[in-house]
Amino acid sequence: MRHNFPSIKVTAFMAFYRLLWLILMPLVLLYLNWRARREPMYTSNIRERFGFGVKQTGEWVWVHAVSLGEFRSAVPLIDELLARSQRVLITHFTPASRQVSMDHYGDQIAEGMVVVCWIPFDYSMAFKRFFRRFSITYGLVMEVEFWPGMIMSARAANIPLFLCNGQYPNKSYERDKHRVLSSRDIVPGFAGVLVKSNRMAEPFRELGLDKIAITGEMRFEQPLNQSHIDAAVLVRSQLSGRPVLTFASAVKDEDALFIAAMQALKSRMPEALIIYVPRKPEHFDRAADLIQASGLSVARRSAIFDSAFEPNQALLCEVLLGDSLGEMHFYLALADQIVVGGGFVPQGSHNIIEPLSQRKPTLVGPNTWTIDFPAIEAIEAGVVRQVSANELADALLDLSGYASADAFLSSMGGSVAKTLDAVSDFLEQ
């Protein structure tokens, strides 16, 4: 680790940052109240966001997973920690991730082995209260969370905080080089980083970190929901051979493009069933309205199936809207081919690991900087195809040219064990 951290610049910024939080707190609370109009959980247990809560006994490993994608990445790691009889504190920012986390670990919560709560607001006093509630052995921050208050507060409390399954996307890193103050100045505050590939280690080496371990991608070890897959197999048997294409994690700015591709596809393959799964729950109603307005018949998963995926009516629609959370394995298992959203707009592509884990032919857009790993490797291996917006409709009709995913997947295993071994080594140094 660089010996001059924190720099004078970072120290001065943190004083300003703490003041800024005090000034802007009313606006932050107004924002949460605004979000709560659609998702009431945003304002539930609000005291936790200020660091308040019941003090817990015992030693805890802290896993921070800001949203649903990060939580899913963390599940194999959390499962292994629990298998080692380690208590796990899980923090989130979004309601979707918190609810899925609480549902997933309900039994362990009841046993006192897991606590799920909000991540505190990113200022020192909130984290001081938070750290008084838990005796934390070390913390693992999933993916790309470079929050200065969290990093600096953990250092002040002598809690080793590791970036886990980490990355510093090249686009972000190059942009930050030209800023007076950026994540580049804060990242050296981690006690160590555990990255997905040697290529992804380079930015951290350039920043002077000396505790770097290459541990791979934990999402490849996510357990598949076999009951959802089995349900999909049963539904497929009732479709009379209809081809199925799934648009997964579509963001709202992609709606027009994807709907145009769906219309083109239906004109050439009218028997196809298209599954459209928006990224966020607040996008469900808008997506349904736009699809209906395009002339395509649409039915919602919530109307067609009960909670056990038993159909309430025949699946005769052209488009099935996936208006549910935590059921992506079902939507992917139904598909002959999958389009992963996010990458057809500058926002950047979402997770390709879940479709690859089900060995599904997968398409991504031009903007894969958010998933540099494993997108570059997967495209080179021929298990993922990258297409432009203009190429999408034609690509949906062509299932040829994909390589088998088996060899690629076998090369990606073992990340959880590598991660915990690296953390143990860093703590002993």
Structural domain spans, the chain: 37-216+414-428, 226-410
* End-to-end C-alpha distance for the chain, whole angstroms: 12
**37-216+414-428: CATH architecture:** 3-Layer(aba) Sandwich (3.40)
Please name the amino acid found at residue 133. R
Give the mean model confidence (pLDDT) for residues 187-206.
93
CA 257 to CA 197: how far, in whole Å? 33
* pLDDT at residue 3 greater than cutoff 70: no
| Tokens of residue 347, six digits | 């926002």
Burial class (CB in 10 A: 0-12, 13-18, 19+), 185: buried
Cβ pair 21, 123 in contact under 8 A: yes
CATH topology of domain 226-410: Rossmann fold (3.40.50)
Catalytic residue among 39, 48, 70, 174: 70
Radius of gyration of the chain (CA): 22
Say what percent of the chain tops pLDDT 70. 99
pLDDT tens by residue, 394-408: 999 998 889 999 999
Rounded-to-integer distance, Cα 137 and Cα 60, Å: 6
Q: In angstroms, rounded to a whole number, what is the distance separating the alpha carbons of residues 57 and 73? A: 27
CA separation, residue 235 to residues 8, 302, 309, 310, 355 (Å): 61, 15, 8, 9, 18
pLDDT value, residue 345: 97
- pLDDT reported for residue 171: 83
70 is catalytic: yes
- Strand bridging mode 362-364 / 337-340: parallel
The string of pLDDT tens digits covering residues 292-350 is 999 999 999 999 999 999 988 889 999 999 999 889 999 999 999 999 999 999 999 99
B/e letters for 406-428, b = 16+ CB within 10 Å, e = fewer, are eebbeebeebbebbbebbeebee
| Of 126, 133, 124, residue with least CA distance to 50 | 126
Compute how many other C-beta atoms are within 10 angstroms of the C-beta atom of residue 327. Answer: 18
| pLDDT exceeds cutoff 60 at 1 | no
| Closest by CA position to 113, among listed 82, 73, 67, 148 | 82
Backbone region of residue 308 per phi and psi (left: phi > 0; alpha: psi in -120 to 50; beta: other values): alpha
> Of 284, 320, 316, nearest to 300 (Cα)?
320
Cα 223 off chain centre by = 15
**Residue 51 half-sphere exposure toward CB, CA atoms < 13 A:** 17
> φ and ψ at 214, to 5 degrees?
-95, 110
Model pLDDT for residues 356-405, shown as the tens digit of each residue: 999 999 999 999 988 888 999 999 999 999 999 999 999 999 988 899 99
Asked which of 42-46, 167-171, 269-273 is least confident by mean pLDDT, the reply is 167-171
